[in-house]
DNA sequence: AGAAAAAATGTAACCGTTTACATAAAATAG
DNA sequence: CTATTTTATGTAAACGGTTACATTTTTTCT
C-alpha cells in the first residue's frame, strides 16, 4: 500500500499533526519545516487518503446528483454543468440515474444518511408522497432542479417555463395565426404544466380562445409529437399553428408534416421548446425557446455548495427561475431567420 | 447527527461487533439477537455511515469513470451503461469529465491513490506519455474504454472499428461505386485510425485504389463533415460515394449536399459510423454502423468489478473487441430500407 | 536579561466501522 | 455429568487522517 501521513511524518522527523498542518495550511508551520515536508511529500508522491480525510472531517467533498435517467441531451447537459461546477469547487460528483421511482427513493435515503455526499442535487420531474416524506426529514443540504414547486420547502432552480411558452406563443400570434394548437407534455410533469399555462395565457390574453380539440396530450417523445400532429390535422377544423411543448415532439411534427406532404410554415407553423441540437438541423430551423441547462445546473451547484459551507442558511429556502430566450427560426413563418446556424 | 452503530448496540444491549455481524451477515449471531438488532435498526432507521465503512474495509464500493467530456450522445450512453451496471452490483459511480489532458492526469492520480474509488474506467481517446506513465504504476484495477491498444498492458474494451468500417465500405462497393472517398476522424484518435484502416483495406481488397484526393481529414464534427464534403465535390474528379468516419460528419455531408442541391444517394452515396439517434431522422436514413455503447460500458464494468473482487487476476490483461453491426439505410442506394424507424 | 507573548510543534483523542482474538454460553460426545 | 467442540458474544485495536490542547521554542518588549 502507499504511504500515509505517519510515514511522511517519520521521514520528515516531525509529528503527524505538523504534516497535516503543513499540507493543508491549517495551522502555523515554520517556513523551513513547511518546505521540507512539502518536499518529502512530493518526492514520495504522497496522496492523502481522502476517505480517511472525509471520515475525520465528516465531509466527503462530494456532491450527489440524482437524475431520472441519462438518456437525453437534457440530462447529460445537467450532469455536465454539475460536474463542471463541482470540479471547479474541488468537489467530486457522485451520480445516480435512477431508473424508477423506487430507485430514487432508495438512492435518496442512501445519499442522505450514508455520509457519502455533502449535499444533493435532485432532479425529479414527478415528485410524489414518498419523496416528499424523505425530503422533509432530510438532514443534508439539497436543491431541486427543474422539479417544479411541488416542494416549496426546499430550495429549487427552475426554468421560467411559463414565460418561455408565453413568449413563443405570443410570437406565433403576432404572425397572425388564430387557430393555435398545442401538443402538451406528460401529465404531472411540472415543466409541461407550466408550458401549457404560458401557452394558454398567451392565447387568452390575445383575445383568442383555447379550443379543446386544439389541445392534445403528448409525452415529450418524438412519437407522441408525430401522432399528436396527425390527430390535430385530421380534424374538421385544422389549426394554422402548433406549439409543441418540447423540441423532440416538434421533430415528430416535422416528420408527420413531411409524410402528409404539408409544408412548414406555409401550410402550418410550428414552434417548440428546449432548443435541442437537433432543432438547428430542421428545415426550416425550428422556432423554439432556449433553456440554459448548464447555467441552471451551475447555479444550483453553486447554491448547494454555499449551503454546505454554511455561507447561506441551509434551512432557508430559495427559489430561482431562470429566464429562457426565444429563438426564432423559419418554422413560425419568419423569413429572416439565420440558416445553417449549426456551422 | 444520526445514530451510529454504538447507539444501536446500546439499545439492543449487545456489543458493536454483534451489531456489525448481524447487519452484515458476517459472522454467527443467534436468531433472536439477529431479529432484535434488525428490528431496532429498522425502527431507528439506522444507516451505517458508508464512509466509515469504506475506511475500515479499505473499500469504497465506488467505481470512478473518467470521460473526455460529456457533450455527446456517445459519452452519455457510456455513463448510462456504467451507472446501470454499477448500481446493479451495488456500487456507486463517481464521474469526472475531464476537460483537458492535464485534467485527466490529475483526476487519474487522485482517483488512484485517494482510496475514493475501488477501480477506474478510463476513456481517453488520445493517450499520451503522461498518462502511460501514471497507468504503469497504477495500483488500482483499471480498464480502458474505447481507447485503442496504445496501452497493451492494460485491459481494454473496444469496438471492432476495423470490421465495421470494412463492412460498410464493402457494402458501398457492392452497390457498384468505384470512386469512394472518406472523411476521416481526427488524427491520433484510435477509433478514427481503425475506421480508416478498415475503409482502406475494403477498398484495396476490392481491387480499387485509395486516391489521395479522396481522403480528407475531418474532426468528428458536423462542421468538418460539411466542409470536408465541400472539398471533395469541388475537385475535378468527384467521388460517387463517401464514407464519413462518424455520423455527425455524415450529417454535415447531408447538409452540404443539400446546400449544393445534390441528391443522396442518386448524385452521391453516403455512409457513416456510430448509428446516432440523428442518423435515423435523415432522409434518406443514413447507412451506418451500429456500435453497442451501453453493452461496451456494461462489459467493461463487469470486468472491472471482477478485477476488484479478485475473481480475475488484476495483473492479467484482457482485451475485448465488441463487434459492430451494419445498418442499412437509403443513403447508400438501397431502396428497401425501412423508413420512419424512429417511430 | 527576564518576563510575557507569539509561534511552532507534539500528544493523543476522535470520527464509525470492521475484525482478530479472547471469552462465555450452548450443544454434543463419551 | 464432565470434557470437548461448537456457537455466540464481547473487547479492543486498527484504518488514516484532523484537531483541541499541552508543551516547547522563538520572538518581542521592557
Instruction: Indicate yes or no: CB of A50 within 8 angstroms of CB of B115.
Output: yes
pLDDT of amino acid B60: 92
Domain contains B64: yes
Name the more confident of B110 and B27: B27
Nearest CA in chain B to A341: B223
Q: What is the CATH number of the domain that holds B94?
A: 3.40.50.2300
CB proximity B32–strand C (7 Å threshold): no
Domain contains B339: no
pLDDT value at A88 more than 80: yes
Summarised one tens digit per residue, pLDDT across range A15-59 is 999 999 999 999 999 999 999 999 999 999 999 999 999 999 999
pLDDT of amino acid B339: 66
Considering only residues 16-45 of protein chain A, which place a Cβ less than 7 A from any atom of strand C? 16-18, 21, 27-34
Summarised one tens digit per residue, pLDDT across range A234-245 is 999 999 999 999
Q: Strand C nucleotides below 7 A of a protein CB?
A: 7-12, 14-20
Measured CA to CA, the distance from residue A333 to residue A266 in angstroms comes to 7
Q: A87 in contact with B at a CB cutoff of 8 Å?
A: yes
CB crowding B219-250: b at 16 or more within 10 Å, else e: bbbbebbbbbbbebbeeeeebbbbbbbbbbbb
* Confidence at A149, pLDDT banded by 50, 70, 90: confident
Instruction: Indicate yes or no: CB of A94 within 8 angstroms of CB of B99.
Output: no
Summarised one tens digit per residue, pLDDT across range A154-192 is 999 999 999 999 999 999 999 999 999 999 999 988 999
Set of chain A residues whose Cβ sits within 8 Å of the Cβ of B255: 281, 340, 342-343
pLDDT value at B54 more than 80: yes
Q: Is A212 exposed, middle or buried (0-12, 13-18, 19+ CB in 10 A)?
A: exposed
Distance A42 CA to C9 C1' (A): 22
Summarised one tens digit per residue, pLDDT across range A260-307 is 999 999 999 999 999 999 999 999 999 999 999 999 999 999 999 999
Min mean pLDDT across A83-92, A204-213, A248-257, B70-79 is at: B70-79
A-B C-beta contacts closer than 8 Å:
130
CA proximity to A125, closest of A193, A179, A184: A193
Provide the residue range defining the domain that includes A32: 5-48
Give yes or no: residues B243 and B147 share one domain: no
Nearest CA in chain A to B62: A94
Nucleotide nearest to B47 (CA to C1'): C16
Handedness of CA A91, A97, A103, A105 (dihedral sign): positive
* Confidence at B139, pLDDT banded by 50, 70, 90: confident
Domain contains A332: no
Closest CB to A113 among B47, B93, B255: B47
pLDDT of amino acid B137: 75
Give yes or no: residues A36 and A149 share one domain: no
pLDDT of amino acid B70: 62
Distance B205 CA to D3 C1' (A): 85
- Please give, rounded to a whole number of angstroms, the shortest distance from the CA of B279 to a CA of chain A: 11
Question: Mean of the pLDDT values across residues A207-234?
Answer: 96
**Tally of domains within chain A:** 3
Distance B6 CA to C28 C1' (A): 35
pLDDT value at B1 more than 70: no
- Tally Cβ neighbours within 10 Å of residue B44: 13
Give yes or no: residues A93 and A147 share one domain: yes
Domain contains A334: no
Set of chain A residues whose Cβ sits within 8 Å of the Cβ of B114: 47-51
Q: B318 in contact with A at a CB cutoff of 8 Å?
A: no
Q: A102 in contact with B at a CB cutoff of 8 Å?
A: no
For the record, the C-alpha cell of A314 comes out as: 441551509
CB crowding A149-160: b at 16 or more within 10 Å, else e: ebbeebbbbbbb
Give yes or no: residues A149 and A197 share one domain: no
Give yes or no: residues A219 and A256 share one domain: yes
Q: Is A180 exposed, middle or buried (0-12, 13-18, 19+ CB in 10 A)?
A: buried
Distance A33 CA to D26 C1' (A): 15
Tell me, letter by letter, the H, E, C secondary structure of chain A: CCCCHHHHHHHHCCCHHHHHHHHHCCCCCCHHHHHHHHHHHHHCCCCCCHHHHHHHHCCCCEEEEEECCCCCHHHHHHHHHHHHHHHHCCCEEEEEECCCHHHHHHHHHHHHHCCCCCEEEECCCCCCHHHHHHHHCCCCCEEEECCCCCCCCCEEEEECHHHHHHHHHHHHHHCCCCCEEEEECCCCCHHHHHHHHHHHHHHHHCCCCCCHHHEEECCCCHHHHHHHHHHHHCCCCCCCEEEECCHHHHHHHHHHHHHHCCCCCCCCEEECCECCHHHHCCCCCCEEEECCHHHHHHHHHHHHHHHHCCCCCCCCCCEEEECCEEECCCCCCCCCCCCCCCC
Name the more confident of A316 and B343: A316
Q: A55 in contact with B at a CB cutoff of 8 Å?
A: yes
pLDDT value at B341 more than 90: no
Domain contains B342: no
CB crowding B313-335: b at 16 or more within 10 Å, else e: ebeeeeeebbebebbbbbbbbbe
Give yes or no: residues B185 and B260 share one domain: yes
Give yes or no: residues A91 and A194 share one domain: no
Percentage of chain A lying above the pLDDT 70 cut: 97
Closest CB to B51 among A75, A115, A226: A115
pLDDT of amino acid B238: 95
Instruction: Indicate yes or no: CB of B255 within 8 angstroms of CB of A281.
Output: yes
pLDDT of amino acid A72: 77
- Tally Cβ neighbours within 10 Å of residue B95: 23
Give yes or no: residues A286 and A166 share one domain: yes
For the record, the C-alpha cell of B101 comes out as: 489532458
Closest CB to B49 among A103, A114, A255: A114
Give yes or no: residues A79 and A125 share one domain: yes
Give yes or no: residues A155 and A176 share one domain: no
Instruction: Indicate yes or no: CB of B47 within 8 angstroms of CB of A110.
Output: yes
Question: Mean of the pLDDT values across residues A309-315?
Answer: 89
CB proximity B13–strand D (7 Å threshold): yes
Give yes or no: residues B287 and B175 share one domain: yes
Question: Mean of the pLDDT values across residues B174-180?
Answer: 97
pLDDT value at A338 more than 70: no
Question: Mean of the pLDDT values across residues A315-332?
Answer: 95
* Confidence at B73, pLDDT banded by 50, 70, 90: confident
pLDDT of amino acid A70: 62
CB proximity B57–strand C (7 Å threshold): yes
> Chain A, 220-279: which have a CB under 8 Å from a chain B CB?
222-223, 226, 251, 255, 258-259, 278
Strand order in the sheet with B269-271: B215-217, B180-184, B241-244, B269-271
Domain contains B336: no
Give yes or no: residues A33 and A134 share one domain: no
Nearest CA in chain B to A294: B71
DSSP state of B203: H
Domain contains A43: yes
Domain contains A185: yes
Name the more confident of B272 and A138: B272
> Chain A, 202-231: which have a CB under 8 Å from a chain B CB?
222-223, 226
Show the CA angle centred on residue A46, arms to residues A43 and A52, nearest 5°: 170
CB proximity B52–strand C (7 Å threshold): yes
Amino acid at each position: 500500500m502507499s504511504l500515509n501521513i505517519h510515514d511522511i511524518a517519520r521521514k520528515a522527523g516531525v509529528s503527524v499533526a505538523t504534516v497535516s498542518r503543513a499540507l493543508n495550511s491549517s495551522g502555523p508551520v515554520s517556513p523551513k519545516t513547511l518546505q521540507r515536508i512539502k518536499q518529502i511529500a512530493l518526492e514520495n508522491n504522497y496522496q492523502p487518503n481522502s476517505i480517511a480525510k472525509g471520515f475525520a472531517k465528516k465531509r466527503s467533498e462530494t456532491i450527489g446528483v440524482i437524475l431520472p435517467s441519462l438518456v437525453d441531451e437534457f440530462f447529460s447537459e445537467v450532469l455536465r454543468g454539475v460536474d463542471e461546477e463541482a470540479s471547479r469547487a474541488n468537489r467530486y460528483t457522485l451520480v445516480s440515474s435512477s431508473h424508477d421511482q423506487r430507485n430514487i427513493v432508495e438512492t435518496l435515503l442512501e445519499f442522505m444518511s450514508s455520509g457519502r455526499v455533502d449535499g444533493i442535487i435532485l432532479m425529479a420531474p414527478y415528485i410524489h408522497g414518498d419523496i416528499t416524506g424523505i425530503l422533509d426529514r432530510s438532514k443534508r443540504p439539497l436543491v431541486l432542479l427543474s422539479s417544479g414547486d411541488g416542494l416549496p420547502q426546499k430550495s429549487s432552480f427552475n426554468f421560467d417555463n411559463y414565460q418561455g411558452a408565453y413568449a413563443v406563443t405570443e410570437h406565433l400570434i403576432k404572425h397572425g395565426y388564430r387557430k393555435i394548437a398545442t401538443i402538451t407534455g406528460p401529465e404531472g410533469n411540472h415543466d409541461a404544466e407550466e408550458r401549457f399555462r404560458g401557452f394558454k395565457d398567451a392565447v387568452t390574453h390575445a383575445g383568442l380562445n383555447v379550443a379543446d380539440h386544439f389541445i392534445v396530450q403528448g409525452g415529450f417523445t418524438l412519437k407522441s409529437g408525430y401522432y399528436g400532429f396527425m390527430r390535430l390535422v385530421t380534424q374538421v377544423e385544422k389549426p394554422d399553428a402548433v406549439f409543441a411543448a418540447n423540441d423532440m415532439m416538434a421533430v415528430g411534427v416535422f416528420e408527420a408534416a413531411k409524410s402528409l406532404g404539408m409544408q412548414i410554415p406555409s401550410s402550418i407553423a410550428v414552434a417548440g421548446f428546449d432548443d435541442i441540437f437537433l432543432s438547428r438541423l430542421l428545415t426550416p430551423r425550428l422556432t423554439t425557446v432556449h433553456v440554459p441547462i448548464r447555467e441552471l445546473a451551475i447555479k444550483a451547484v453553486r447554491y448547494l455548495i454555499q449551503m454546505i459551507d454554511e455561507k447561506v442558511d441551509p434551512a432557508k429556502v430559495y427559489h430561482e427561475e431562470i429566464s429562457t430566450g426565444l429563438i426564432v427560426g423559419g418554422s413560425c413563418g419568419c423569413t429572416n431567420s439565420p440558416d445553417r446556424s449549426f456551422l
